[in-house]
Amino acid sequence: MSVKELYRGIYELDIDDRKMLASKNIMPGLSVYGERLIVDDGIEYRQWDPSRSKLGAMLLKNFEIPIEPDSVVLYLGAASGTTVSHVSDILTDGLVYAVEFSPRTMRELIQLCEQRPNIIPILADANKPQSYAHIVEKVDVIFQDVAQPNQAEIAAINSKYFLDEQGQLLLSIKSRSIDTTASPKKIFKEEVRKLESDFDIEFEVLQRKELDPFHEDHLGLVARMFVDEE
């Protein structure tokens, strides 16, 4: 077995010629959603399933992921915390604000938050950043995975309130929650155009790629706010 560090805190394990994505478990012995725990050289890793995590899929699609161990991340659409748990693994010295709208899934997320010291749960609607502006500080990264028809707008308003000028936006756009019948390619193009010019802050898209075969009809996207250089 060999271990290769892809980014800080993100590893590629090679077990009998089968490669898998993993993060270093900050709570050794605890598996969050039934994922495999692998111990190598005294360090425990948690397998990261890219078909259950948009961020995992983005990593395997060679995105430049700007999350550092001391980053502060705003995670919109945390669901029951599958991906959040891996982000929490990476952030050994950072913090993730996990926003989720559904009380049903928040029930599971809270149990994760109680296990891990670096996740702050927020039960709120990502459409209304003002409703959690009293909690969230300036963040280095916004990761967004919400199944809403106005995904670009949600990303823009949250960036406006919370994203640091140097920060980056990671976005997973699900075409089916915008229009189930139109072609995904068209929708992606339209969403990127919206991000670049529709809102009062503009974004510069650094990288974009579809997330198949891990997630169908999803576009992964990394962007940063467009700042005028005086």
Partner 1 sequence: MEFTTWFGKLQLDAEGELEDYSLFDKNPQKLAVLAVELQENVQSVPLKRPDLREAALESGFVELDEDYDILLRDVCIRAAKSQISQTDTDDSRIIQAVEALDDIDKNVNELSERLFEWYGRYFPELDMTGEKLARFVSAYGSRANVPEDHELFEKSSQSMGAEISFADEELLRALANNICSLYDTRRYIENYINTSMGSVAPNLCNITGASLAARLMSMAGSLQKLAAFPSSTVQVIGANRALFKHLRSRAPSPKHGIIFNNPVIKNAPWWQRGKIARTLASKISLAARTDFYSGELEPSIKEALEKKLEHIRSTNPNPPRREPKPQSKGKGGKKTHRGKRKGGKR
Binding site for partner 1 (CB under 8 A): 95, 103, 106-107, 110, 113-114, 117-124, 128-138, 160-161, 180-181
| Identity of the residue, 75 or 214, whose beta carbon is nearer to partner 1 in the bound complex | 75
Where in 48-196 does DSSP place strands (E)?
72-76, 95-100, 119-123, 139-144, 163-174
| Identity of the residue, 2 or 180, whose beta carbon is nearer to partner 1 in the bound complex | 180
Contact 184, 217 (CB under 8 A): yes
Least distance in angstroms from the C-beta of 29 to partner 1: 21
| Identity of the residue, 14 or 114, whose beta carbon is nearer to partner 1 in the bound complex | 114
| Identity of the residue, 17 or 228, whose beta carbon is nearer to partner 1 in the bound complex | 228
Least distance in angstroms from the C-beta of 116 to partner 1: 9
CA distances from 111 to 33, 104, 123 (A): 12, 12, 14
Distance CA 131, CA 162 (A): 12
Least distance in angstroms from the C-beta of 58 to partner 1: 27
21-48 burial: b if 16+ Cβ within 10 Å, else e: bbbbbbbeeeebeebeebeeeeebbbbb
Count of beta carbons in the 10 Å neighbourhood of residue 181: 5
Tokens of 180: 């189930």
| Identity of the residue, 122 or 170, whose beta carbon is nearer to partner 1 in the bound complex | 122
Helices (H), 127-166: 151-162
Least distance in angstroms from the C-beta of 52 to partner 1: 23
Least distance in angstroms from the C-beta of 124 to partner 1: 6
